[in-house]
Structure 1
Amino acid sequence: MRLDTEGIIQTKNNRIDKVHRAVRDMSNEGFLGQEDVWLQLAGVSNFASLLAARRGKDRELAAITGLLHGCYLYRTGMKDFSGPNSADSARQLLRELQLFSQEELCIILQSIFYQEQYEQIHGPYEEILKDAVLIQKVSSPGEALVNRTEKDRLHHVMQELGMTHEDYAADSEADNEDLQDDSEGRRTLLADYAEKLAKQEIIGIPEDERFREICKYWPDTDIYAVLKANWCAAFVYHCCMQVGIKLPIRYPNHTYRLAGVGAWLDWSRSSETGFFHNDREGGFKPGRGDLVIYEKLLSDDSHDHIGIVLSCEDDYLLVAEGNVDNQNYSGIINRSRERCILGYIRISDDYRFHFQGEYSPF
């Protein structure tokens, strides 16, 4: 094995080089700071290779995992859910490359998915990546903030490598980050934001900057074509993210991304949430900020449209929607409560994504 000019481990069969080029090709239009992200990926890749050598594991596999660990951030510039979103992005990239066995794919993707779960112990490659990410974090220019769990892990891995390190103070704000509650009235905020956005009559074409904002979460290179006249769920996802109802682009182990209505339906019916309600069942009445899922409203397909409820008066709903009636623009529309309604999603104001199951990439 050797290092190339960009600091990436090379091997005889050149799999790392092919992954390297595939990740570089994800840069697309680019964003400010993208090259800094690339240096981070390269640094983590090299630290992962070093740790794998120390621990008797496959250096190449560890290096590739490190190179891909932040591919979603590199593609989109979005920092939310680095583990789940990068695993989802890497899954598609690696399947297209067809360079890895099913076992290797599982190792790579599970390691990426669990990279931020420092408080838990996973398999050897997952732990290698966690440690490599942490070493890169404190080795990068600028002040590195670590919480108590990270500080303890950092101390042990630095000792393992025989590296000197500063005595990083535990950051109390980082420890309490997950405990902060800014969730009051999120459904109201969601409706307010959706109403304001839908009124702008956004057109679903890449020339419309507002549409590009709605599409920015999805790493597909052809996302504008994919979502053309098919972006009602992407509109809902964007509105949720903007008001602090944050979700990864695909709920773990589910078939579809949240750019599709079916993914919202599956998520709302999952054991983690239980947010789905049938209309009038048990006296349920939709309210401002609920999501409405339609049934065969615009096609012969089930759950074919989604919107955000602004009000419910008698038998009529006022709804903010993207891609109104598949006409490729946003708007606010009156809908009959008696026609083509599958049900509603009422997201709890204090909901926070917290996946506790085992991630299965396939």
Structure 2
Amino acid sequence: MICEKKSKRLEIVRSLVYEMQSNFKNQRAWAQLSGVSTFASMLAMRRGQDSEIAAIAGVLHDFYFYKTGINTFPGHNSADAVRPIIRSTQVFTDEEMSVILRSIFYQEDRHRVHGPDEEVIKDAILLQTYFQKTGNNFLKTDIHRLQNVFIELGIPEENVDMESNVDAEALNRKSKDRRLMLADFAEKLAGQNIIGVPENERYREICKYWPDSEIYKVLEGNWCAAFVYYCCMQVGILLPIRYPNRMYRLAGVGAWLDWAQLPETRFFYDAKQEEFNPSRGDIVIFEKLLSDNSHDHIGIVLACEDNKILIAEGNIDNKNCSSVLFRDRDHCILGYVRIDNGYHYQFNGEYIPFGC
């Protein structure tokens, strides 16, 4: 079947993506995907790589933005959003799917060198950005990379005349108390008594990070973790929708527990640790509070008063609405997540697309 459909695979993928344009009508985004796809095909052909696979990776490279309108972690989020799509086509081998997803995933990691397929997409994105004159400033590493591509293509490198960009947000990151910002934002948001239905504007905002076509229905009555994720993103605690190589997305409580216990975070504190006292801006994870399932609820701590904690929650008690309420500190609490104010998401490991 794969051999029979191979010649039409790019057309199949392009059609699938373009059909989704009704969900996010952005001709500029489509032009970006198409442009990168064309440059990727050309570079792959020149470098002896599979030009068809490169073109497909190119047309999918920024799928997350195309679907949601959000440009945070385009590589990591797009790879995650694309996985079920390329599987559903049933026209790729496991190896080809891995190449496509890895090429998408590593697109932002341009200061390092990966495999030849991944490098094609990185360079294709820079070429598209340069020739479209999008007004983006380039990092110094990108300028050097683009100069090398120009030399490869026989274009005088002096044509790369751009200003380098400085990540001002990174410089200011440690100066902010983002946990307090998280609590302030969550308290105000939860107090609006959001109802988890598509007609509610605030609920739609909370759901906007998740690329699933039926996300409003998927999260209905189950959006406490999505509430926490939304609040974190709004105050600059930026995370991809799924930590690489993990089983669940951060729309689920289990994913938050898993992420907080990683060797590179170690943000989780067991509720039984006597020396730990929860404070404003911590995240609380409950254990069998609303069901017989482990880690079944999550919220953001606003205050701790004796044996009570004040919490901002989405989907309180599975009633599909948000609120601010007191809960017993000694009842069904698994532990707390205290995110370091200087934390900045960075993944330096090996991405294994279908490892979980």
Under a length normalisation based on structure 1, what TM-score does the superposition of the two structures give? 0.93
Contact 2:23 2:67 in 1 (8 A): no
How many percent of aligned residue pairs carry the same amino acid?
54
After TM superposition, the structure 1 = structure 2 runs for residues 159-238 of structure 1, keeping only pairs within 5 Å, are 159-163=151-155, 166-174=159-167, 178-181=170-173, 183-238=175-230
Aligned pair partner of 2:60 in 52, 60, 68:
68
What are structure 1's unaligned runs of at least 5 residues?
A: 1-10
Q: Choose 12-21 or 204-213, whichever is displaced more.
A: 12-21
- Looking at structure 1, the residues matched to 326 and 14 of structure 2 have their Cα atoms a distance apart, in angstroms, of 50
Name the counterpart of 1:26.
20
Deviation at 1:100, TM superposition (A): 0.7
Name the counterpart of 2:133.
141
C-alpha offsets along residues 221-268 of structure 1, whole Å, 9 cap, x if unaligned?
A: 000110000000000000000000000000000000000000000000
- Looking at structure 2, the residues matched to 191 and 50 of structure 1 have their Cα atoms a distance apart, in angstroms, of 49
Q: Secondary structure at 1:36's aligned position in 2?
A: helix
C-alpha offsets along residues 280-339 of structure 1, whole Å, 9 cap, x if unaligned?
A: 415101100000000000000000000000011111111000000000000011111111
Deviation at 1:178, TM superposition (A): 3.8
Deviation at 1:164, TM superposition (A): 5.0
- Looking at structure 1, the residues matched to 113 and 308 of structure 2 have their Cα atoms a distance apart, in angstroms, of 51
- Looking at structure 1, the residues matched to 314 and 265 of structure 2 have their Cα atoms a distance apart, in angstroms, of 24
Q: State the Cα RMSD in Å.
A: 1.4
Name the counterpart of 2:299.
307
Deviation at 1:30, TM superposition (A): 2.0
After TM superposition, the structure 1 = structure 2 runs for residues 279-294 of structure 1, keeping only pairs within 5 Å, are 279-294=271-286
Name the counterpart of 1:17.
11
- Looking at structure 1, the residues matched to 259 and 276 of structure 2 have their Cα atoms a distance apart, in angstroms, of 19
Q: Secondary structure at 1:244's aligned position in 2?
A: coil
- Looking at structure 2, the residues matched to 91 and 276 of structure 1 have their Cα atoms a distance apart, in angstroms, of 29
Aligned pair partner of 1:340 in 332, 339, 349:
332
- Looking at structure 2, the residues matched to 112 and 189 of structure 1 have their Cα atoms a distance apart, in angstroms, of 32
Structure 2 vs 1, CA of residues 85 and 172 (structure 1 numbering), >3 Å: closer, same or farther? Answer: closer
Q: Secondary structure at 1:298's aligned position in 2?
A: coil
- Looking at structure 2, the residues matched to 200 and 144 of structure 1 have their Cα atoms a distance apart, in angstroms, of 38
Report how many aligned residue pairs link the two structures: 349
Under a length normalisation based on structure 2, what TM-score does the superposition of the two structures give? 0.95
Aligned pair partner of 2:246 in 239, 249, 254:
254
- Looking at structure 2, the residues matched to 196 and 12 of structure 1 have their Cα atoms a distance apart, in angstroms, of 53
Deviation at 1:29, TM superposition (A): 3.0
Contact 2:63 2:78 in 1 (8 A): yes
Deviation at 1:177, TM superposition (A): 5.6
| Paired AA for residue 153 in structure 1 | R
C-alpha offsets along residues 157-211 of structure 1, whole Å, 9 cap, x if unaligned?
A: 012112356232341425x664442552100000000000000000000000100
